[in-house]
Amino acid sequence: DIQMTQSPSSLSASVGDGITITCRASQHIGNYLNWYQQKPGKAPKLLIYGASTLQNGVPSRFSGSGSGTDFTLTISSLQPEDFATYYCQQSSSTPPTFGPGTKVDIK
Amino acid sequence: QLQLQESGPGLVKPSETLSLTCTVSGGSISSSSYYWGWIRQPPGKGLEWIGSIYYSGSTYYNPSLKSRVTISVDTSKNQFSLNLSSVTAADTAVYYCARHEFLEWFFDYWGQGTLVTVSS
């Protein structure tokens, strides 16, 4: 299985801040990397697929980049509704595997 | 708007079989474009893909669970189901059903999730 790691595991930020979350795969996965947002008690929501393609309806303040083994999710200006946990997931090979998550909370 | 809804017992005894059903509405489970999957999340922990099924019955399973998992589909009811046998406390989790495109392994629609607790 391909192992996914994320850093940091948590971060505190203020509304209006820009943040970056990093995801690393244990082997080369091309651009088969997806990002999800999960709020407490809710199902994950797909934000970005193919490393950089925004899912329909996702605000443009979210962006993704990277290829190979190293990827980033950037939120350009945090909004109150963005405080959540973010997961990366590789879709290069089965089984699809998720990172451990990055919790973004309010400073 | 596509909706997925999990249903099934919230409490299962150790060594028994966990059985859940996902009902799809607002779209056909028989679409040739999609697979239908199960993903779980133990309380306070990360996400684990369990397996996926195509409307024809073709399945993919996570090797870590393959010996205990069966996923089936009922196209007449627009439903698919999960059976997980010989459960232990480690199988306690929120179980989600979700959709992904044919051989594209990212999940674009999710059910709300259902908590299944394994306890005597």
Verify whether the Cβ–Cβ distance A95 to B62 is below 8 Å. yes
Q: How big is chain A by its Cα radius of gyration, in Å?
A: 13
Q: For residue A25, what pLDDT is reported?
A: 98
Q: Between A1, A45, A96, which is nearest B105 by CB?
A: A96
Dist CA B13 CA B56 (whole Å): 32
* pLDDT, chain B, mean: 97
Contact list in A for residue B107 (CB cut-off 8 A) is 36, 44, 46, 89
Pure H helices in chain A: none
Contact list in B for residue A45 (CB cut-off 8 A) is 110
Residue type, A90: Q
Dist CA B67 CA B49 (whole Å): 15
Nearest-5° Cα angle at B9, B4 to B15: 125
Verify whether the Cβ–Cβ distance A34 to B106 is below 8 Å. yes
Label residue B103 exposed, middle or buried (CB < 10 Å: 0-12, 13-18, 19+). Answer: exposed
Q: For residue B59, what pLDDT is reported?
A: 96
- Write the pLDDT tens digit of every residue in A29-73: 999 999 999 999 999 999 999 999 999 999 999 999 999 999 999
Alpha carbon of B43: minimum distance to chain A alpha carbons (Å)? 10
Which residues on adjacent β-strands are paired with residue B3?
B25
For residue B41, give the chain A residue with the closest CA.
A43
Q: b/e string for B24-59 if b means 16 or more Cβ within 10 A?
A: beebebeeeebbbbbbbbeeeebbbbbbbbbbeeeb
Q: Between B64, B107, B112, which is nearest A46 by CB?
A: B107
| Mean pLDDT (whole number) for B25-30 | 96
Please report the residues numbered 57 through 116 in chain B whose beta carbons come closer than 8 angstroms to any beta carbon of chain A. Answer: 60, 62-64, 96, 98, 104-108, 110-113
Non-local (6+) Cβ contacts of B62 within 8 A are A94, A95, B48, B49, B50, B51, B69
Contact list in B for residue A98 (CB cut-off 8 A) is 46-49
Verify whether the Cβ–Cβ distance A46 to B111 is below 8 Å. no
Does residue A91 sit at the B interface (CB-CB below 8 Å)?
Answer: yes
Tokens found for residue B54 = 């195509």
Give percent of chain B with pLDDT exceeding 90.
95
Tokens found for residue B22 = 């996902």
**Residue A40: count of CB within 10 angstroms of its CB:** 7
Q: Are A98 and A3 in contact (CB under 8 A)?
A: no
Non-local (6+) Cβ contacts of B108 within 8 A are A46, A49, A55, B98, B99, B100, B101
| Mean pLDDT (whole number) for B23-31 | 95
Tokens found for residue B1 = 């708007």
